Amino acid sequence: MGRSQETFSKKENEKKRVAKRKLKEEKKEERKANSNSGKSLDEMMAYVDENGNLANTPPDPKKKKEINLEDIQVSTLKEEDREPVEVVRTGIVAFFNDAKGYGFIKDLKTQESFFVHINSLTEPIKENNKVTFEIEMGAKGPNAVRVKKAIDPIAVKVEKPGAKPAKAPAAAEPAATPDTESPAAE
């Protein structure tokens, strides 16, 4: 007589299959017992109370409130309610490494620090320069782009392109024009 062809692992696998089948049958019976097919519509209804919680009983009609549709705000503000977003910001270069090609700009209004790469510059900058820049989202967060030195509008006079620079007036007194009289002459 020969030995049985069943090994220990085959017996264990068969036990697992039987246990799995039995568990599946138990879950099927549980689903049948908890099904909603035999319930009425009223038993299956759920209500929302005044606090936003689910309840089995309908809300009290005496507590009903009338709400105007205009008062409801859904996730976004109307255009006139939003604060205008400043596109061009001003800041000071807190750190810039020419050799590595990057640095940081500190916004003057919000005191936030933004990363700047040398490829985002429109002209060369150095530390402590006052600059104007815009913000764009990069892979690791907001980056300063289109960075250029800020120009003080009081110190620089606007001149026509190609014109020769104007010389400073020699006399400190303004010259009187014929159609205006000076107040001292009266």
User: What letter represents residue 90's amino acid?
Assistant: T
Domains of the chain (ranges, CATH numbers): 89-149 (2.40.50.140)
Query: Mind giving me the DSSP string for 80-91?
Result: GGSPPPPSSEEE
Work out the pLDDT band at 160, boundaries 50, 70, 90: low
Of 24-38, 71-85, 109-123, least confident by mean pLDDT is 71-85
- At residue 17, the pLDDT reads 95
Q: What are the tokens at 7?
A: 């090994």
Q: pTM for the complete prediction?
A: 0.40
Work out the pLDDT band at 130, boundaries 50, 70, 90: very high
- At residue 50, the pLDDT reads 77
Of 52-61, 68-77, 137-146, least confident by mean pLDDT is 68-77
Residue 186 has pLDDT above 70, yes or no: no
Residue 142 has pLDDT above 90, yes or no: yes
